[in-house]
């Protein structure tokens, strides 16, 4: 009798805790919605404090992909401790040199050409305005196409206005440059802290993993804790495979772009191809960003070829986005092509470029976990042969 009463009291206490907890959560949600702007500003300020740590964490995730490759191939059978201790620092240095080397090469290849194109464009625009102003004073513009319209424009006044605007904006430009320098210094400081944090993560990842497992198992129920650890390992594997697949796809797209430009005899083929390849690491939209820069540069030499390049890149991007990308990246993350496209679409709609970037590994992780849960459920229900491939092929036919 006493055992029943104690059990009933225990159940009552448990239900009371749940009710109080749910009530507290509902109150917090109501207060958050009622003061949404204040909560958003506080969250933004709070997240800003962790910006270097967040950047360092993602840097560690990206650097870990080539670093694991180098660690697996640097003295794999070495038994001497000095070589074993040198393996990880050497792998980290090689990974950092590889990534920084690619970025530096693209910057050195692209930035001088872009600067030269901007100077040429400005010089050409000023020259055209001055030439039109001179023609209006001497020979007139009636003989040119749209001459009647061009003759009504005061080109000399436009040239004077441009010069006056440049002089007036000089102070604003200087102030803007100072603000940019200050922001750049702050960004460099954050970047240095992020690099240091990523180094600590990469050099002590086994210790951090062990500590995280201890915390999860100590503070969460056993079943939930084990599932969280398993889900985290699946997510980590999928992210590594996604980065590898994205890199392969970027190399393919950049090579196809450069090859197509060579065939069509479009200028700046190596530079634009490299830029398209690097920018395509941002899924779907990255190639178009690079394409805009490339089209501007090509336009300084030939507007017709710039138009041809835009048409070519749109066709190439459609082929890449619907055929190459889902198969290359999908094969790496073990996600069917249709779900890759769905992840890109939904991720982009929810969070823009960041959603596109993280949508595929998140969808792949969810796909694996749902598949495992489904297989476990089928085994529990005795459905040993759920749907055979032959049945699917029959239904398709």
Contact 365, 235 (CB under 8 A): yes
Read off the pLDDT band of 123 (50, 70, 90): low
Exposure b/e, 258-267, CB count within 10 A at least 16 = b: bebbeeeebb
The predicted-structure confidence for 134-191, as pLDDT tens digits, reads as follows 555 545 545 544 445 555 555 556 666 666 665 665 556 555 555 666 666 667 777 7
Do the beta carbons of residue 274 and residue 105 sit within 8 Å?
yes
179 vs 26, residue with greater confidence: 26
The pLDDT of residue 78: 74
Is the CA virtual torsion 186, 187, 190, 196 positive or negative? negative
Higher pLDDT, 120 or 335: 335
Tokens of 342: 């769905």
Whether the CB-CB separation of 116 and 296 falls below 8 Å is answered with no
User: pLDDT tens for residues 334-362?
Assistant: 777 778 778 878 877 776 666 777 788 88
- Residue 308 pLDDT > 60: yes
Which residues fall within 8 angstroms of residue 317, CB to CB, at 6 or more apart?
Answer: 287, 288, 291
- Kindly state the percentage of the chain with pLDDT values over 90: 0
The string of pLDDT tens digits covering residues 6-19 is 777 777 777 777 78
What token pair was written down for 40? Answer: 């958003």
How much is the average pLDDT of 212-222? 87
pLDDT at 272: 85
Q: What is the mean pLDDT of residues 191-211?
A: 86
Task: Kindly report the average pLDDT of the chain as a whole number.
Answer: 75
Residue 127 banded pLDDT, cuts 50, 70, 90: low
pLDDT of 139: 53
Give the per-residue pLDDT at 156.
59
Helix axes 303-319, 222-263, angle to 10 degrees: 140
Q: How many helices (H) and strands (E) does the chain have?
A: 15, 0
The whole-angstrom separation of Cα 77 and Cα 230 is 30
Residue range 271-283: average pLDDT?
79
Closest-CA residue to 102 (of 250, 294, 257): 250
Q: Is the separation of the CB atoms in 269 and 242 below 8 Å?
A: no
pTM: 0.64
pLDDT value of position 389? 47
The residue among 385 and 49 whose pLDDT is bigger is 49
| C-alpha closest to that of 121 among 272, 269, 301 | 301
Asked whether the beta carbons of 265 and 302 are under 8 A apart, the reply is no
């Amino acid at each position: 009798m006493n055992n029943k009463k104690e059990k009933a009291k225990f159940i009552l206490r448990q239900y009371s805790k749940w009710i109080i907890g749910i009530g507290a959560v509902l109150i917090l949600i109501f207060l958050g919605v009622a003061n949404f702007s204040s909560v958003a500003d506080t969250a933004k300020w709070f997240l800003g404090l962790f910006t270097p740590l967040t950047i360092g964490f993602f840097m560690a995730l990206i650097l870990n992909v080539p670093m694991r490759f180098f660690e697996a191939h640097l003295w794999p059978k070495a038994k001497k401790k000095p070589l074993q201790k040198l393996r990880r620092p050497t792998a980290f240095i090689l990974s950092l040199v590889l990534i920084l080397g690619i970025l530096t090469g693209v910057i050195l290849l692209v930035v001088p050409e872009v600067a030269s194109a901007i100077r040429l464009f400005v010089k050409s625009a000023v020259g055209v305005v001055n030439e039109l102003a001179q023609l209006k004073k001497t020979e007139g513009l009636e003989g040119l196409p749209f001459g009647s319209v061009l003759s009504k424009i005061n080109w000399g006044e436009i040239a004077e206005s441009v010069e006056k605007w440049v002089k007036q904006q000089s102070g604003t430009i200087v102030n803007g440059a100072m603000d940019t320098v200050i922001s750049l210094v702050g960004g460099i400081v954050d970047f240095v802290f992020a690099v240091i944090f990523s180094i600590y993560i990469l050099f002590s990842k086994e210790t951090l993993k062990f500590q995280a497992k201890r915390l999860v198992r100590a503070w969460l129920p056993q079943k939930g804790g084990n599932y969280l650890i398993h889900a985290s390992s699946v997510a980590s594997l999928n992210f590594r495979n996604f980065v590898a697949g994205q890199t392969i796809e970027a190399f393919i797209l950049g090579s196809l772009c450069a090859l197509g430009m060579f065939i069509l005899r479009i200028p700046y083929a190596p530079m634009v191809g490299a830029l398209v390849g690097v920018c395509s690491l941002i899924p779907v939209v990255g190639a178009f960003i690079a394409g805009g820069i490339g089209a501007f540069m090509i336009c300084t030499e030939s507007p017709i070829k710039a138009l041809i390049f835009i048409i070519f890149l749109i066709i190439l991007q459609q082929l890449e986005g619907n055929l190459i990308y889902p198969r290359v990246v999908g094969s790496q993350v073990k996600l069917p092509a249709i779900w890759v496209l769905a992840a890109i679409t939904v991720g982009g709609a929810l969070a823009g470029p960041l959603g596109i970037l993280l949508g595929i590994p998140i969808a792949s992780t969810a796909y694996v976990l749902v598949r495992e849960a489904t297989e476990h459920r089928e085994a529990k229900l005795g459905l040993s042969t759920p749907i055979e491939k032959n049945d699917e092929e029959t239904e398709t036919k």
